[in-house]
């Protein structure tokens, strides 16, 4: 389960400036400062891959960490978590980056490659030295133990917030814990809990759905209702079935996308791929994880309001939608142990160790698919600094996280030789 935060995609750019050796201007050799990524408490610092010492624009990434800038005859400091990666910034005046040699005083704790990439291995202290004929700078690094990542018990695209207030209200127990709002125009279900005044204005969960088609016969009616009915499986119009069914008005229900039978492996995949659009006969269709959450957490008589407002009016926004392969007839968020998607992860392809000649081009053909097999190459984040004009060994790590919060990473070794 991931907690939604409005700041989730604040990002920065970095421009790498370079000069020739004979120039007297300040050389800021490049690096991409990127982001501290919090995933279950583990931070990761991500950078744009630099394959030349020319200006390179970075992909957008998350909130950046503070850099460790090494200057001549000065010692700086940096704190990393084990498993974290960073790249040094070196301020040079009279010579090029190619002349620098990097070393670590304790490679069991921290390693450094030819491009100044740091990899924190375990708790401890290490000093990184950048040295050439006329330059000597150091960075003292403390590596701390990273918090253990907690594996999610639920895979969902839902946005989740204000869980502390939910826990407080559970202890209070003075009134119904939740109310539910369905925006049939944006196909978004938003669940609220109450504030100190007892008003249901604190959003706690947003889920993508499919409401009625806006035809005379297939429309989700606006108005105020309440939960009156629940059933694990329930027959639906059209000789199909729904899982985790919660009724809120007559034959209008919250339920999963339709199944051909009362079997978890008979999902109508073409209907699942319509989530986020108006596609039902009036009910509110959801992914299994979200339909089950309502079934498990929304009590009888809980207030349900159906509204008709434009995009941007939902408190937490509209979560992303998933697409599935129509040959695998399972909802990817179904917790059933037999679900083939349950243990699937994103796949990164094309990460292979390479050896290239000095001053040649480096162009990696790396792609990524999500845990449902859909292309998400544009989400790849890259950390590494390959300088093709400098003989040495470089490490480049590609990582990607899909809409279910599942993450994968892969590292290649790039060797630049004479």
Which of 34, 68, 283, 372 is labelled catalytic?
283
The helix (H) or strand (E) run that includes residue 208 is strand 200-210
Could you tell me how far CA 220 lies from the centroid of its own chain? 32
- In order of 26, 71, 113, 374, 394, the CA distances from 95 in angstroms are 10, 13, 19, 46, 21
- Strands in 27-28's sheet, in edge-to-edge order, are 27-28, 89-92, 69-70
DSSP notation for 326-341: TTS-S-TT---TT-TT
Structure tokens at 102: 């990097």
Which of 43, 46, 209, 255 is labelled catalytic?
255
The terminus-to-terminus CA distance of the chain in angstroms comes to 49
DSSP notation for 120-167: E-SSEEEEEEEE-SS-EEEEEEEEEPPPPPPPPS-----EE--HHHHH
Alpha-carbon distance of 42 to 151, in angstroms, equals: 12
Structure tokens at 287: 């992914």
Asked about 255 being catalytic, the answer comes back as yes
Q: Would you name the residues annotated as active-site residues?
A: 255, 283
């Amino acid at each position: 389960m991931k907690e939604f935060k409005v700041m989730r995609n604040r990002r920065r750019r970095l421009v790498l400036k370079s000069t020739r050796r004979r120039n007297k201007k300040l050389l800021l050799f490049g690096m991409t400062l990127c982001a501290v990524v919090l995933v279950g408490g583990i931070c990761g610092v991500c950078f744009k891959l630099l394959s030349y010492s020319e200006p390179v624009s970075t992909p957008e990434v998350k909130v950046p960490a503070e850099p460790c800038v090494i200057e001549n005859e000065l010692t700086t400091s940096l704190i990393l978590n084990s498993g974290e990666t960073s790249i040094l910034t070196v301020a040079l005046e009279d010579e090029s980056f190619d002349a620098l040699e990097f070393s670590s005083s304790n490679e069991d704790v921290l390693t450094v490659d030819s491009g100044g990439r740091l990899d924190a291995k375990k708790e401890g202290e290490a000093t990184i030295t950048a040295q050439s004929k006329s330059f000597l700078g150091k960075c003292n690094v403390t590596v701390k133990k990273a918090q253990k990542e907690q594996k999610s018990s639920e895979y969902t695209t839902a946005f989740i917030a204000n869980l502390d207030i939910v826990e407080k209200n559970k202890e209070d127990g003075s009134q119904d814990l939740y109310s539910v709002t369905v925006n049939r125009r944006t196909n978004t279900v938003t669940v609220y809990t109450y504030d100190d005044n007892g008003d249901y204005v604190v959003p706690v969960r947003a889920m993508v759905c499919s409401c009625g088609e806006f035809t005379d016969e297939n429309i989700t009616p606006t108005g105020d209702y309440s939960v009156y009915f629940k059933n694990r499986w329930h027959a639906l119009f059209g000789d199909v079935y729904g899982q985790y069914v919660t009724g809120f008005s007559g034959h209008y229900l919250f339920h999963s996308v339709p199944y051909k039978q009362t079997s978890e492996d008979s999902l109508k995949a073409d209907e699942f791929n319509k989530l986020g659009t108006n596609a039902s006969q009036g009910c509110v269709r959801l992914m299994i994880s979200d339909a089950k959450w309502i079934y498990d957490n929304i009590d009888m008589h809980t207030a349900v309001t159906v509204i008709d407002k434009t995009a941007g009016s939902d408190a937490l926004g509209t979560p992303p939608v998933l697409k599935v392969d129509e040959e695998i007839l399972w909802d990817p968020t179904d917790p059933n142990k037999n679900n083939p998607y349950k243990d699937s992860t994103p796949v990164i392809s094309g990460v292979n160790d390479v050896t290239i000649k000095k001053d040649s081009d480096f162009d990696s053909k790396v792609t990524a698919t999500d845990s449902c097999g859909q292309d998400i190459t544009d989400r790849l984040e890259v950390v590494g600094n390959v300088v093709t004009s400098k003989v040495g060994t470089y490490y480049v790590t590609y990582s990607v996280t899909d809409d279910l919060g599942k993450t994968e990473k892969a590292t290649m070794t790039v060797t630049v030789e004479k």
